[in-house]
Amino acid sequence: MLNITKTINQRKEMIISIFALSWPAVLEQALETTVQYVSSAMVGRLGAEASAAVGLTTTVTWLINSPAFAMDIGILSYISFCIGAKKLKKAKIAAVQSIIITIVLGLVMGIITLSISPFLPKWLGASPEIQKNASLYFGIICIPMLFRVAIIIFGAVLRATGDMKTPMKVNLIMNIINILLNCILIYGNQTISVGGLKIHTHGAGLGIVGSAIAGAVAYTISGLLMLFALYRNRLVSPKGEKIKLNMEVMGRCIKVGFPVTIEHVGTCLGQVVFSSIVTRLGTLAFAAHSIALTAEEAFYIPGFGMQSSASTLAGNALGEKNQEKLHQMSVTIIAMATIVMTITGTILFLFPSFIMSIFINNPLVIKSGASILRLVAVSEPLFGALIMLEGIFNGMGDTKTPVFVSIISMWGVRILSATVCIYKFHLGLKAVWICMICDNVFRFLLLFMRFLSGAWKKKFNL
């Protein structure tokens, strides 16, 4: 009886810890998605071509962010491990390395993206009428690449220390700036309808270019704020430290982050190829596809918000060499994410047409997008469990497993099946999204079997 009571109390404490770490990250994700909703809705009022032009480069944006997101996992894993093991000096050294990583990645990726922006829409197979706007939009939002990388990397450092609230606050400021500037820069003097709400605008009338400028300014201010927050953090502040390379610590971060870089690049290249396949279905179909992707993001906010908590807690448990804590945390957070995303998936299934109508008033695009949103809604609970499993493996530094699974699944399931559906059988957008769902199901099954086997414990002497 005492053991049962102890287990129940431990589980309650675990849930409280997960919630305390997760809610700021979930709210941060919600704020970020809200801005994407508002921006997409505003651009959508310019027409299907405008939505397609902005949506065309979305997957490429994921690709160029890949190295930063990969290194943020390496840094988060290492710092959370050091804090769990009470090695605070090494955690501070890792924070210094994060500044070096930010500068290098920011400058390199900025040069690359600005260089390819004039040619990218044509490479992706975009129709001629959207190529110019897509190129302008992509080029402008890539100008502050250094600050975009800073938001990602420094945010990971803060989360690794358990500070989830500061990145959330910075994100809130970024979103407010973005929305305000969107209102000023996108439209001229007119009345627009967003989700049934009439809004009177007085602005510059820059259209897609205005949306891009708004995003670029918001990224710049937020990157500076995140740097300021890093220097104020009591555990890992680089204040008083020399910004110099430490090969041992940098090597550990890269060892964890490099496989994730391969995964992100491999899967994001797959996303780019996947988008280029969808462009073959025409501008209206691609607009429906792009808007549906944006709409779906709101419904997996809890999953991605909780993922960083899963990584942080897994890294702490590994540093403490506490197998029981790691197991309890893993089972609990997977169950929590599955329950929450069952609820969000149900909402998505019941109201897909309304959700699509927030972004665009074209009835053909709304109908097409609603049908695929209803399809993907069914897989949301499983997707939540998948996100948690990836977070757990990444937090422990076992990044090779998600890498292998993601690349094999992306190219062997999603891309191959979508190519066959469109080029061989000439099927439509619904078939393409079924291929995407099959990719997520396959990834979940492989990671879940790996987790159940317990083989990964041997690698860490647990």
Q: What is the 3-state secondary structure (H, E, C) of the chain?
A: CHHHHHHHHHHHHHHHHHHHHHHHHHHHHHHHHHHHHHHHHHHHCCCHHHHHHHHHCHHHHHHHHHHHHHHHHHHHHHHHHHHHCCCHHHHHHHHHHHHHHHHHHHHHHHHHHHHHCCCHHHHCCCCHHHHHHHHHHHHHHHCCHHHHHHHHHHHHHHHHCCCCHHHHHHHHHHHHHHHHHHHHHCCCCEEEEECCEEEEECCCCCCHHHHHHHHHHHHHHHHHHHHHHHHHCCCCCCCCCCCCCCHHHHHHHHHHHHHHHHHHHHHHHHHHHHHHHHHHHCHHHHHHHHHHHHHHHHHHHHHHHHHHHHHHHHHHHHHHCCHHHHHHHHHHHHHHHHHHHHHHHHHHHHCHHHHHHCCCCCHHHHHHHHHHHHHHHCCHHHHHHHHHHHHHHHHCCCCHHHHHHHHHHHHHHHHHHHHHHHHHCCCCHHHHHHHHHHHHHHHHHHHHHHHHHCHHHHHCCC
Give the domain range for residue 90: 10-459
Domain assignment present for 1? no
Q: How many domains does the chain have?
A: 1
Domain assignment present for 128? yes
Domain assignment present for 3? no
Domain assignment present for 387? yes
Predicted confidence at residue 352, as pLDDT, reads 92
CA distance 420 to 414: 10
What radius of gyration do the chain's Cα atoms show? Answer: 22
Domain assignment present for 318? yes
Q: Taking a C-beta distance cutoff of 8 angstroms, is the pair 21, 102 a contact?
A: no
Check: pTM over 0.75? Answer yes or no. Answer: no
Bridging pattern class, strands 190-194 and 197-201? antiparallel
Domain assignment present for 2? no
Predicted confidence at residue 45, as pLDDT, reads 66
Q: What tens-digit pLDDT sequence spans the chain (462 residues)? A: 545 565 566 667 777 777 776 666 677 666 666 666 666 666 766 766 777 777 677 767 777 777 887 788 788 878 888 887 788 888 889 999 999 999 999 999 999 999 988 888 888 777 777 888 888 888 998 999 999 999 989 998 998 888 878 988 898 898 889 888 988 888 777 666 655 566 666 667 788 888 889 989 999 999 999 999 999 998 888 888 888 988 888 888 888 777 777 777 777 778 778 888 888 888 788 888 888 887 887 777 777 778 877 877 887 777 777 777 788 888 888 888 899 899 999 999 999 999 888 888 888 889 999 999 999 999 999 999 999 998 888 777 777 788 888 889 999 999 999 999 998 888 999 999 999 999 999 999 999 988 888 766 665 555
Cβ neighbours for 411, distance < 8 A, ≥ 6 positions apart: 266, 270
Give φ, ψ of 74 to 5 degrees.
-60, -45
Domain assignment present for 333? yes
Domain assignment present for 409? yes
CA distance 61 to 163: 27
- What's the Cα-to-Cα distance from 171 to each of 183, 435, 437, rounded to whole Å? 18, 33, 30
CA distance 345 to 335: 15
